[in-house]
Chains A and B, each alone.
Chain A
Amino acid sequence: MTYVIKNARPYGEDAVDLVLRNGAIASIGEDLTVPGAEVVDGAGLVLLPGLVDLHTHLREPGREDAETVETGSRAAALGGFTAVHAMANTDPVADTAGVVEQVWRLGQQAGLVDVVPVGAVTVGLAGSQLAELGAMADSAARVRVFSDDGHCVADPALMRRALEYVKALGGVVAQHAEEPRLTVGAQMHEGDRSARLGLTGWPAAAEEAIIARDVLLAQHVGARLHVCHVSTAGSVELLRWAKSRGVQVTAEVTPHHLLLTDACAEGYDPVFKVNPPLRTDADVEALRAGLADGTIDAVATDHAPHAVEDKECEWAMARPGMLGLEQALSVVVDTMVETGRLDWRALADRMSVRPAAIGRLAGHGRPVAVGEPANLVLVDPAHRSTVDPAALASRSRNSPYAGRELPGRVVATFLRGVPTVLDGKAVK
């Protein structure tokens, strides 16, 4: 099927027509018509390269009651994503070629988004022995991003080896920066609010200490390092310093850390419990500034579905994490575009181009240009709506944005020229 998108504005710039044929952008121009083609009205809509998420928890295998590759893929497509990296902390852990190939195949079968498995750095995420990183890289899943996310690779010698080893694979280690000895029992950001709420504090220094250590290690061995879900102003400072020294470090920030603060913990509703925790207004400001100036390379969702019983409980007993795929773009529009900190081209850079480059994904994060793969998203920037968790495609309901009005709506998503979302609804 050939599609013609009429009057869409690439990167929010001048309106054009586009013809999508054989998975690619066949032509771009004015008043394009193709007999027999399906026409998609793009009037008033912004056209961007399909979004790429470096950090998604799809929960399959193991917790299919919380999310499956298929339901998570549908949520991703509705959020404007054409590729998502599926984190390795499944059950069993994605620490072998067998598990990553299983996840990859499930993604292919769902066919809504390219599901790119992340491989565990260490066997069972236990932090003691390297997993077979080469086997995962060479598998059908072609793993390039390795992470023990949920756990920090805390052993500095092991981290050094991991950074070195994946150089041969064109890979990158994505570190969950959390010094575990400083966060025993930690429940929320350590500061004024944790002091009053009586919840054990998660100090900013526990994140910053690991980032400081790891950028030094990455520089020493000449390897690539990616830092997951940066959450503190101090981390942004360290990254800025490391980049100025030429360290090959990249970093991501989540939508929730761009919008929400530890004030959300006030009512003890664990839907706001997440790791790393929501921090202060000053941290939010530093993260926005870091994303705007490129110190932080990418927005990544850390989409973390949880079953109702894992959130409808006491704060300390609840599992950390929140949904993100379906609202990520809206949150970035709200915090970065409407505030004038990013234009659409820069948003595409942080949510598509750079994450694709970090994950070494061919075919994603490409410019809107003739001959390029037709991985695209059409966004209505004027639309505003209130988030209703019951209406989400994710199997879980733990959205921190429930009841919040956010701007922007994904009208259509195309994966290699085929719509996965049309009129704001998933095609399958």
Chain B
Amino acid sequence: MKRHLLEAADLDLADATLVLDTAAQIDAALAGREVKKLPTLRGRTVVNLFYEDSTRTRISFELAAKRLSADVINFSAKGSSVSKGESLKDTALTLEAMGSDAIVVRHGASGAPHRLAQWVRGSVVNAGDGTHEHPTQALLDAYTIRQRLGRLDGVRVVLVGDVLHSRVARSNVWLLSTLGAEVTVVAPPTLVPVGVGSWPVRVSYDLDAVLPEADVVMMLRVQAERMNASFFPSAREYSRRYGLDARRMELLHDDAIVMHPGPMNRGMEIAAEVADSVRSTIVEQVGNGVSVRMAVLYLLLGGAPE
């Protein structure tokens, strides 16, 4: 593994598989144990530096670090020196001066983790940067697919929704294709980036047409405010054309699974009966997120101080 985890596009097959295998080992080691804690990162400090509101990702990273016995500091931009105008660089240098070994960063600006990695000596983990990437989400998605379907190579994945603005989509496109999956993105043309032709994906505007072939349908969160910028005419029309409802679920073959990174807009991109069906992996994804993030922190921090 490299020193940082900045983007899924950076991971080769060996690295990506190592993370997934490590997560599986951690799961196995902790299975059935009453005290779900490993001593691996005792004495190391992980800082969760969150410039955007996040519940599940922050808690997931916090839990992952604590289960590895690391000390965890949660730093939220609100009510901190950042709200007094402190720059990202100064904040990072301050945290490092206090002895942080890894910074887990969530930021509204694409590339912010890459900047951080230039300024600090410790490891940087991208927990979501703007509309760029969210690599641990893709890793936990891959882990979940492998767990459910037993493989990733040749798995047909359909990614549906706001690909243009989705860091989850970008990370999944690169990671899943590295792992051998065949990815199709489905969205209204307004929500597919110009330049998608250079991605290792097929593009479709017709959800019904691609569902029968899918092993995995991954629904992306669609933000209602996109409506105001004319990306689509109305939430209702979006839902009719690109939402996964009970009728569309019937188009899937028996073993196909439905995923969502959360938080969901029930009734918008996904219907309640789909989200709560046996095909849905949404709750497993959350649980797997902790294991995968433990694997990432373990591999980056290597267990012992250098």
Contact = CB atoms under 8 A, between A and B. Distances in A.
B191 interface: no
- Kindly state the interface size class of chain A when it binds its partner: 20 to 34
B264 interface: no
A268 B111 contact: yes
A201 interface: yes
A312 interface: yes
A315 B114 CA distance: 10
A192 B197 contact: yes
Given A313-B89, A314-B109, A198 B114 contact: no
Given A191-B195, A192-B197, A312-B87, A197 B132 contact: yes
Interface in B141-200: 167, 170, 193-199
Nearest to B130: A198
Contacts of A192: 195, 197-198
Contact of A197 (B87, B111, B115, B194): B111
Given A195-B199, A196-B9, A201 B110 contact: no
B167 A198 contact: yes
A314 B107 contact: yes
Given A313-B87, A313-B88, A313-B89, A195 B194 contact: yes
B195 A193 contact: yes
Nearest to A195: B195
A426 interface: no
Given A192-B197, A192-B198, A195-B193, A268 B114 contact: yes
Interface in A302-330: 309, 312-317
B129 interface: yes
A107 interface: no
Contacts of A200: 131
B9 A309 contact: no
A266 to B, nearest CB: 9
Nearest to A187: B110
A203 interface: yes
A316 B110 contact: yes
Nearest to B129: A198
B101 interface: no
- Kindly state the interface size class of chain B when it binds its partner: 20 to 34
B115 A314 contact: yes
Contacts of A190: 194-195
Contact of A316 (B114, B130, B196, B198): B130
A315 B110 contact: yes
A71 interface: no
B205 to A, nearest CB: 17
Contacts of B129: 198
Contacts of A197: 110-111, 132
B199 A199 contact: no
Contact of B131 (A191, A198, A312, A314): A198
Given A268-B110, A309-B87, A198 B170 contact: yes
Interface string A176-215: 0000000000010011111111111101000000000000
Interface string B97-132: 000000000011111101100100000000001111
Interface string B72-98: 000000000000000111000000000
Contacts of B131: 198-200
B109 A196 contact: no
Contacts of A316: 108-110, 130
Contacts of B199: 195-196
A371 B177 CA distance: 70
B193 A201 contact: yes
Interface in A265-313: 267-269, 309, 312-313
A198 B133 contact: yes
Contacts of A314: 88, 107, 109, 111-112, 115
12 contacts: A190-B194, A194-B193, A195-B194, A195-B199, A196-B199, A198-B110, A198-B130, A198-B167, A199-B130, A201-B193, A268-B115, A269-B118
The 9 lowest CB-CB distance pairs between A and B, nearest first, are: A268-B111, A198-B132, A195-B195, A314-B109, A195-B193, A192-B198, A198-B131, A198-B110, A192-B195
